[in-house]
């Protein structure tokens, strides 16, 4: 039921999300610059954009010369990704928590998963699939909601549990109830280190200056305490 609620929420806000994605501060001037900074040189590389949304990351990466394969749980998001990118890239509907059987083993140089892993209750199989589709020494880069921020925001009393949580989003034209899963820092790390990756870099990001012009209050808050966390991990075995 939780997955159906997540899908319904993204279907409901897909149009507005796509309309705002180029310049919405938390996406454009907080998540993207910090997440993109963790990527290696992408020219000529095959990148799997897991949970691609309306295809903004794919657009940026293909402009840099990458070949992008993207999927998302939301059919409307996938359609918007296709419209944004025209004949470039391959986009299809798929659940991040399910086996990625349509992606060949060892076929990708990089897996990118931006702001989506917190919709997956158990990361183990998803991380194993990232490992499978990557070439030797391939890299996965993820951005997620920071576990310390979530613990405070949701007023949790059970830090070490994976908890189903809900928030109301109001930045996409109408109020949307968003379901996700909160977890500890170690539960963000162990699925990688326990399944053939080493952590190359962990970033607690700060917003770039453009953020301040559009949202000075959150700019100040995010420079005092992070809301997101970015991880790059390299396939070792």
pLDDT tens-digit readout, 222-231: 999 999 999 9
pLDDT of residue 221: 98
Q: Which residues pair with 179 in a beta bridge?
A: 166
Under the banding of pLDDT at 50, 70 and 90, the label for residue 171 is confident
**Token duo for residue 50:** 């897991």
pLDDT of residue 225: 98
Residue whose token pair is 């001037």: 29
Q: Which long-range contacts (CB under 8 A, 24 or more apart) does 208-211 make?
A: 208/29, 208/30, 208/33, 210/25, 210/28, 210/29, 211/25, 211/29, 211/30
Phi, psi at residue 11, to the nearest 5°? -65, -40
What three-state secondary structure class fits 11? helix
Number of other CB atoms surrounding residue 109 within 10 Å: 19
DSSP conformational letter for 107: -
Whether pLDDT at 174 is above 90: no
Mean pLDDT of the chain: 97
Region 126-132: mean pLDDT is 98
| Nearest C-alpha neighbor of 11 from the set 77, 63, 71 | 77
Whether pLDDT at 162 is above 90: yes
Task: Give the tens place of pLDDT for each residue, 90-128.
Answer: 999 999 999 999 999 999 999 999 999 999 999 999 999
| Residues 61-78 as b or e (16 or more Cβ within 10 Å = b) | bbeeebbbbbbbbbebbb
Region 50-71: mean pLDDT is 98
């Amino acid at each position: 039921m939780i997955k159906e609620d997540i899908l319904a929420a993204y279907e409901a806000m897909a149009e507005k999300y796509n309309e705002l994605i180029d310049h919405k501060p938390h996406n454009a001037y907080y998540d993207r610059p910090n997440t993109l900074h963790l990527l290696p040189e992408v020219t000529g590389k095959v990148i799997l954009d897991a949970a691609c949304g309306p295809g903004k990351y794919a657009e940026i990466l293909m402009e840099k010369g990458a070949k992008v394969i993207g999927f998302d749980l939301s059919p409307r998001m996938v359609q918007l990704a296709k419209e944004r990118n025209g004949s470039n890239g391959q986009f299809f509907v798929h659940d991040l928590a399910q086996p990625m059987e349509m992606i060949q083993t060892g076929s990708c140089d990089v897996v990118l998963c931006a702001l989506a892993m917190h919709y997956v209750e158990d990361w183990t199989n998803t991380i194993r699939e990232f490992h499978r589709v990557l070439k030797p020494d391939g890299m996965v880069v993820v951005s997620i909601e920071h576990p310390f921020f979530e613990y405070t925001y949701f007023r949790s009393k059970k830090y070490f549990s994976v908890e189903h949580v809900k928030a109301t989003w109001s930045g996409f034209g109408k109020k949307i109830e968003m379901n996700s899963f909160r977890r500890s820092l170690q539960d963000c790390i162990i699925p990688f280190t326990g399944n053939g990756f080493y952590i190359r870099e962990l970033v607690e990001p700060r917003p770039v200056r453009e953020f301040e012009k559009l949202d000075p209050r959150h700019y100040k808050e995010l420079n005092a305490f992070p809301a997101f966390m970015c991880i790059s991990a390299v396939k070792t075995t």
